[in-house]
């Protein structure tokens, strides 16, 4: 049986945070371009889906190795997180702050976590939980719907597109982007695709004087911030889905080469 969720993780589950299905609206984006990039990556062998006869073995590897909550995935998320970019906190400082005893001290005295620690904690918890969700979805044969809540569109045949259109809908409905993306990733992984970090050539810093250990403004973070603004203020998923499809179908090009 699965271990019970800790108090923090229980706050970011789909059951807790999924908005009502009534929030769903048409979010425009270039679906043809999205599918074309995914299909091209598949042809090139850079985004292979596990065949049905090896799916169970793949899920066992996931269960054993837990690739969704690796430091690399969390780091990639924080590199495009607007709050982290604004704080510009060094990774070593984050590692020192992200300590169980420190967390428990804040809880004991009722204080809020430092902002950077809270974002790091959220990203780590979200990807830990994404592994759990992926296993549940794989066993169920797909996303486990919650009655009356937002769910992926079954009419979208591409698993990756369906997952991130769902993520875009959640973000547009004010779900935290890190959490919404982790839900989408769980759906993708449960469908047999590999874990893909949302990192690409545009992660180079805009200012070369910054240390690489510091979350910093970059072409990627700037583009992604505009994508979130489009989703929340204009109900437009064009930039968001473009960003995701280029990461999953990445050729290693920077934003200036797109």
| Greater pLDDT, 218 or 204 | 218
Residues 6+ apart with CB under 8 A from 232: 171, 172, 174
Mean pLDDT, the chain, rounded, equals: 80
Share of the chain above pLDDT 90, in %: 38
Measured from the Cβ of residue 16, the count of other Cβ atoms closer than 10 Å reads 12
Q: What tokens appear for 209 in the block?
A: 């004087």
- The whole-angstrom separation of Cα 164 and Cα 42 is 18
Q: What is the pLDDT of residue 256?
A: 40
**Cα separations in angstroms, 230 against 19, 62, 174, 224:** 19, 34, 13, 10
Query: How far apart, in whole angstroms, are the C-alpha atoms of residue 98 and residue 95?
Result: 5
> Is the pLDDT assigned to residue 232 strictly greater than 80?
yes
What would the pLDDT profile of 127-185 be if each residue is shown by its tens digit?
888 888 988 898 888 899 999 999 999 999 999 999 999 999 999 999 999 999 999 99
Of 103-117, 125-139, 215-229, the one with minimum mean pLDDT is: 103-117
């Amino acid at each position: 049986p699965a271990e019970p969720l800790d108090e923090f993780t229980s706050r970011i589950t789909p059951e807790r945070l999924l908005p009502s299905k009534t929030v769903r609206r048409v979010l425009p984006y270039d679906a043809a371009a999205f599918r074309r990039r995914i299909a091209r990556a598949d042809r090139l062998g850079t985004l292979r889906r596990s065949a049905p006869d090896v799916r169970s073995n793949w899920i066992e590897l996931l269960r054993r190795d837990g690739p969704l909550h690796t430091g690399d995935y969390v780091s990639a998320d924080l590199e495009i997180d607007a709050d982290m970019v604004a704080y510009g906190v060094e990774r070593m400082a984050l590692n020192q702050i992200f300590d169980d005893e420190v967390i428990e001290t804040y809880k004991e005295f009722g204080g809020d976590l430092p902002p950077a620690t809270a974002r790091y904690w959220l990203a780590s918890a979200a990807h830990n939980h994404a592994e759990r969700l992926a296993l549940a979805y794989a066993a169920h044969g797909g996303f486990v719907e919650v009655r009356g809540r937002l769910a992926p569109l079954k009419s979208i045949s591409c698993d990756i597109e369906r997952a991130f259109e769902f993520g875009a809908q959640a973000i547009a409905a004010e779900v935290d982007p890190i959490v919404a993306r982790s839900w989408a990733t769980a759906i993708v992984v449960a469908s047999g695709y590999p874990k893909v970090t949302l990192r690409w050539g545009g992660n180079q810093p805009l200012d070369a004087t910054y240390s690489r250990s510091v979350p910093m403004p970059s072409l990627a973070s700037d583009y992604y911030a505009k994508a979130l603004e489009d989703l929340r203020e204009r109900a437009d998923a064009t930039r968001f889905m473009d960003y995701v499809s280029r990461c999953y179908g990445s050729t290693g090009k920077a934003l200036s080469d797109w």
